[in-house]
Amino acid sequence: MHITLSFAGFEEKIIYVFIFIAVVLLIRYLISWFVSTLRQRGLISASTKSMLIRILDLLVIIVVILGVVESVTASLTPYIVVIALGIMLFVLFYYEIREFTAFITIQLQRYARGTWIEVHLPGQIKPLRGRIVEIEPFNSVLEDLYGNRVYMANSVLVKALIREYTPCVSMRISIDQPENITLDDMLQLIKEAVRGTPFRMDESRVPINSIGGNRLTFTLRLIPLSTPVRSSDLYKMMRKISNMLSRYNPYIEIIER
């Protein structure tokens, strides 16, 4: 009789273990499907999906082992051990956990590779501008117009104010202003000079900085057709503009690099 009851209890434990494993695997499947859906929609990268799946599989293995041990031994010791290890690992790898959490947040914000962003960091007056080259688990890489790279911790990037922008080279041009010529005439000459260079003139925004003493000063925005911008191309384009406006005694200055 005693043997029969023990066997029945063992069967119940086996059934419980199988049900527990089935539920865990179902949850794993649903989470994996959700992550795959995010990847298909372009919300996360392939590397992020792969890392999340690996972490998910690791958690599934730990949970299954805990559940089986607890069912067989009817002891809470495995849970206590895992909680203690979890706290220790959290303390030891706090930086990595924080940066990886920020990494997931950045992925969900749809900042894909190649996107040009303007980053306003707390306490900094001048924003950081660049193209997103890489979004890695612990840091992101930005590249400016001239190919200079900046490595930023993901947690810093998440806390910053970010907006997309169009990369451009800004020039301040000062010229003599005869009475018989207008700013539009000047812009037409500059447009002719820019034609054939790896730049495009932004005609939608040409702010006038000053006018007086027969001198006109305005800001010209040039959008590069490709990046990074080479100094030689920039120099040739400035020389062409200077030659085109040579009769007006031009002074050209790069005001944003």
User: In angstroms, rounded to a whole number, what is the distance separating the alpha carbons of residues 240 and 242?
Assistant: 5
User: What is the number of other CB atoms lying within 10 angstroms of the CB of residue 97?
Assistant: 13
Phi then psi dihedrals of residue 224, to 5 deg: -70, 140
**How do residues 87-141 score in pLDDT, each as one tens digit?**
776 777 777 778 777 877 777 766 777 888 888 887 778 888 889 888 877 888 8
pLDDT at position 127 is 86
Asked if 250 and 242 count as a contact pair (C-beta separation under 8 A), the reply is yes
**How do residues 3-14 score in pLDDT, each as one tens digit?**
444 555 556 667
**How do residues 68-87 score in pLDDT, each as one tens digit?**
766 666 666 666 766 777 77
Task: Tell me what the mean pLDDT of segment 143-155 comes to.
Answer: 88
Distance, C-alpha 6 to centroid of its chain = 59
Asked if 45 and 36 count as a contact pair (C-beta separation under 8 A), the reply is no
Can you give the length of the chain in residues? 257
Token pair for 14: 């086996």
pLDDT at position 3 is 47
Task: Tell me what the mean pLDDT of segment 167-176 comes to.
Answer: 88
Mean residue pLDDT across the chain: 79
User: In angstroms, rounded to a whole number, what is the distance separating the alpha carbons of residues 97 and 103?
Assistant: 10
Domains assigned to the chain? 2-92 (no CATH), 109-164 (2.30.30.600), 169-256 (3.30.70.260)
